[in-house]
């Protein structure tokens, strides 16, 4: 499996087959991230297929009661998922239900990249970070297109890994995000809408290479 600081989000198969895309960029990236659209298109088996190529972060943004969160998490882990993303705002019990075993790598959302994130969630990142930490999270989601929040999160995150979406189409710059504290950048449409995903990822890897 590849290493480095890039996570490629595969949200859709409109332009590229997910397995082919993952295989083509696997040497340049740390993981792929899959969301509900791809799983609904291909079924949970796509997680198993992709996990034979690279690490698979399942971005389900779980935000339900503990029992439902756990049931979903069990399915994802049995399919070979490397990590699961869940919302911290649902509280400690719901997060801990995702981490139903110590083998689960829980990544908790504490801030978001879109303008609506500023209406509610982004103003509470400090409290959400505390919840994520106490729930035993492996990492957190903090916006790569908001250097102000990202740099503040970095100062308080301790050993938690920071995964930063919002790179490319949403305006975030990969080098800026890394400089402001991201351990991993997440990039989606800029890669999967490209005619040459390998070149896009290779160039991005080169730009942030000195920070690996």
Of 61, 75, 130, 161, catalytic: 61
Count of alpha carbons within 13 Å of 178, Cβ hemisphere only?
18
CB 108 within 8 A of CB 82: no
75 is catalytic: no
The Cα 192–Cα 59 span in angstroms is: 16
The total number of residues shown for the chain amounts to: 212
Which of left, alpha, beta for 196 (phi over 0: left; psi -120 to 50: alpha)?
A: beta
Which of left, alpha, beta for 195 (phi over 0: left; psi -120 to 50: alpha)?
A: alpha
The Cα 46–Cα 51 span in angstroms is: 8
The residues annotated as belonging to the active site are 61
């Amino acid at each position: 499996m590849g290493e480095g600081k890039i996570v490629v989000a595969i949200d859709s198969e409109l332009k590229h087959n997910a397995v082919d895309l993952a295989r083509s960029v696997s040497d340049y990236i740390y993981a792929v991230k899959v969301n509900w659209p791809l799983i609904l298109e291909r079924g949970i088996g796509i997680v198993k297929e992709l996990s034979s190529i690279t690490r698979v972060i399942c971005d389900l943004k779980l935000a339900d009661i503990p029992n439902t969160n756990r049931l979903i998490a069990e399915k994802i882990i049995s399919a070979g998922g490397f990590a699961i993303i869940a919302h911290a705002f649902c509280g400690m019990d719901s997060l801990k239900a995702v981490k139903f075993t110590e083998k689960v790598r829980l990544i908790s959302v504490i801030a978001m990249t879109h303008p609506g994130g500023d209406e509610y969630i982004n103003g509470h990142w400090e409290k959400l970070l505390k919840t994520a930490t106490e729930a035993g999270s492996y990492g957190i989601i903090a916006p790569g297109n908001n250097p102000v929040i990202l740099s503040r999160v970095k100062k308080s995150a301790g050993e938690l890994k920071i995964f930063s979406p919002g790179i490319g189409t949403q305006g975030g710059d990969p080098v800026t995000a890394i400089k402001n504290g991201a351990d991993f950048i997440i990039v989606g449409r800029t890669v999967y809408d490209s005619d040459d995903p390998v070149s896009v990822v290779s160039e991005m890897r080169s730009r942030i290479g000195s920070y690996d």
